[in-house]
Structure 1
Amino acid sequence: MIELEGLTKRYGEKVAVNDLTFTVRPGVVTGFLGPNGAGKSTTMRMMLGLDRPSAGDVRIDGRHYDQIRHPLKYIGALLDAKAMHGGRSAFNHLLCLAQSNGIPKSRVGEVLDTVGLTAVAKKKAKGFSLGMGQRLGIAGALLGDPQILMFDEPVNGLDPEGIHWIRNLMKSLAAQGRTVFVSSHLMSEMALTADHLVVIGQGRLLADTSMADFIRQNSRSYVRLRSPQQERLRDVLHEAGITVVEAGNGTLEVDGSTSDRLGEIAAEHHLVLHELSPQQASLEEAFMQLTAESVEYHAHSETTPPDTSGWQAQAPPGDGGWGGQWSQQKKSGS
């Protein structure tokens, strides 16, 4: 379990993370979302002791990260797939991490097999593709068989098979009762993977709720209907006290009612329906709705001049992120 209480990070006058308090619990995949510059990477760095908070506290199973003797046995992290010595082979990279954290050599082969890199175990990491680097980084996170795992953009560079694999891996880890915390900009993938969401904007907590509740609370749900008897259907629904909106293309939209009830009303009046479908926003639409006022960097079309009145030329330092494994290796004396 990861616990944040009043976590704050300032860079001069810039507040990158502002009084964050939430708990990442075991047994579920918790997604960590926010626009660019929201403070996600800075938050994850503070969780791993890479950045020191200006205020507040973060604990890993009740302890600060620097109090853990062999951190890879407690928490595995992938913050940057490039955070490895390119001159080392995949095997030797993992062996170095294992030796610095009291992990048996046999575990190296096991995790290489888990991530599908056994065939290239002796090849130098500098020749790896982005996707292979991601797999090696994930192997490092799994090396100590930890109960807590953190992944920042884990599907970056992976092909469809790899994306499907990491999705199922994270779900299986959570099903084993482990704590899984994952940050990603790929909303469609997060919608398929995460059970719980923590959303931040401009360093502040915007939401800490289940996936289903997040979408329901930040989007419009309605029922769409089509019928060859549209005028009669509209009159019947109006008589039942139901407000109907014509949406064009021969469709009607109804808020505040269920598809079951609407179908029953149509059946009672012998009305033919060509469509009766409940509509709900995607995670991406709900996210955009919630964070619309928290986006720090906006793109502008060529025909629309940018508003530079509030522009800040430099993003806060440290939000790009170093690799968690390098930190763990360094802190363990390697």
Structure 2
Amino acid sequence: MIELEGLTKRYGEKVAVNNLTFTVRPGIVTGFLGPNGAGKSTTMRMLLGLDRPTAGDVRIDGKHYDQLKDPLKYIGALLDAKAMHGGRSAFNHLLCLAQSNGIPRTRVHEVLDTVGLTAVARKKAKGFSLGMGQRLGIAGALLGDPRILMFDEPVNGLDPEGIHWIRNLMKSLASQGRTVFVSSHLMSEMALTADHLVVIGQGRLLADTSMADFIAQNSRSYVRIRTPHRDRLVDVLQRAGMTVVQTGSGPLEVDGGKSERIGELAAQHQIVLHELSPQQASLEEAFMQLTAESVEYHAHSQAPPEQRQPWGDGWRKEG
């Protein structure tokens, strides 16, 4: 288990992490989300003792990281897949880590096989592709067979097969009762992997909740309906206390009603339906809604060529 209490980190006047308090529990995959500059990497570095907190506390199974003997047996982490000696082979890179933490040599062979790098175990890491480097970094995290795993952008550089593999690996580790904490900007993948979410913005905690509750609380759910009898159906639904949004001549959108009840009402009044489908926002849409005020870096779409004027910081249209 990972426990943060009032965790704060300042760099001069800049507050990178602001009074974070949350717990990452075993048995589930916990996603760690936030816009660029939100403080995710700084938080993870403090978990591993790479940065010292300005205030607050963080503990790994009740201890500070520097109190752990053979820390790879407690927590395995992938923060930077390039953090390795390029002149060493994959095997020797892992062997050095193993020897520094009292891990047997046989375990190196096991994790290389787990991540699919046995065939290139004797090749130098500097010749590895980004995806192969990610696999080697994951092997390092697994090396001590720890109860806690922490991954920062684990699918970076992986092909579709690799993404499917790491997703199933994280779920398998959690099902074994381990603590799995993963940060990623790939929302579609996080939606398929995480059970629980911790979301931060500008260093502050924005959400600490289940995936389902996060989406429900930060997005609009409605039922989409297509029917050739629009006016009749609108009248029926409004009399039943439902809010109907009419989108021109397109489908109806109904707030405050379940699709089963809408279908029953339509059947009772002999109204033909061509579509009746519940609509739920994606994790990406819910995330964008929650963090809109916390985004530090904003990109702006370009104006059409005829509206651009080449001066100043960008392009602008003459008034």
Question: What one-letter code is carried by the residue in structure 2 that aligns with 1:165?
Answer: W
Change in Cα spacing, 1:306 to 1:43, as seen in structure 2 (3 Å) is farther
Output one character per residue of 1:76-128: Cα deviation in whole Å (capped at 9) or x when no partner: 00000000000000000000000000000000000000000000000000000
Aligned to 1:175: 175
CA distance in 1, matches of 2:60, 2:279: 40
SS in 1 for 2:149: strand
The yes-or-no answer on 1:107 pairing with 2:95 is no
Question: Contact 1:230 / 1:250 at 8 angstroms: preserved in 2?
Answer: no
TM-score normalized by structure 2?
0.94
Greater than 4 Å deviation, 4+ residue runs: 304-307
Question: What one-letter code is carried by the residue in structure 2 that aligns with 1:164?
Answer: H
Aligned to 2:149: 149
Q: How far apart are 1:233 and its partner, in Å?
A: 1.2
Question: Contact 1:227 / 1:274 at 8 angstroms: preserved in 2?
Answer: yes
CA distance in 2, matches of 1:46, 1:306: 37
Output one character per residue of 1:290-327: Cα deviation in whole Å (capped at 9) or x when no partner: 000000011123349879xxxxxxxxxxxxxxxxxxxx
SS in 2 for 1:113: helix
User: How many residues matched?
Assistant: 307
TM-score normalized by structure 1?
0.90
Answer with 293-302 or 219-228: which moved more.
293-302
Question: What one-letter code is carried by the residue in structure 1 that aligns with 2:221?
Answer: S
Aligned to 2:244: 244
Aligned to 1:2: 2
CA distance in 2, matches of 1:271, 1:110: 63
Output one character per residue of 1:200-224: Cα deviation in whole Å (capped at 9) or x when no partner: 0000000000000000000000001
Aligned to 1:48: 48
SS in 2 for 1:260: helix
Answer with 186-195 or 233-242: which moved more.
233-242
RMSD, aligned CA = 1.2
Aligned to 1:93: 93
Change in Cα spacing, 1:147 to 1:306, as seen in structure 2 (3 Å) is farther
Aligned to 1:332: none
> Sequence identity, in percent?
86
CA distance in 2, matches of 1:43, 1:260: 45
Output one character per residue of 1:153-190: Cα deviation in whole Å (capped at 9) or x when no partner: 00000000000000000000000000000000000000
Aligned to 2:317: none
Aligned to 2:63: 63
Question: What one-letter code is carried by the residue in structure 1 that aligns with 2:253?
Answer: E
CA distance in 1, matches of 2:241, 2:15: 50
**Structure-to-structure mapping, 1:249-260, within 5 angstroms:** 249-260=249-260
Change in Cα spacing, 1:219 to 1:112, as seen in structure 2 (3 Å) is same
Question: What one-letter code is carried by the residue in structure 1 that aligns with 2:263?
Answer: G
Aligned to 1:318: none
**Structure-to-structure mapping, 1:303-314, within 5 angstroms:** 303=303
CA distance in 2, matches of 1:296, 1:118: 42
Aligned to 1:330: none
Q: How far apart are 1:228 and its partner, in Å?
A: 1.4
Higher relative contact order (CA 8 A, sep 6+): 1
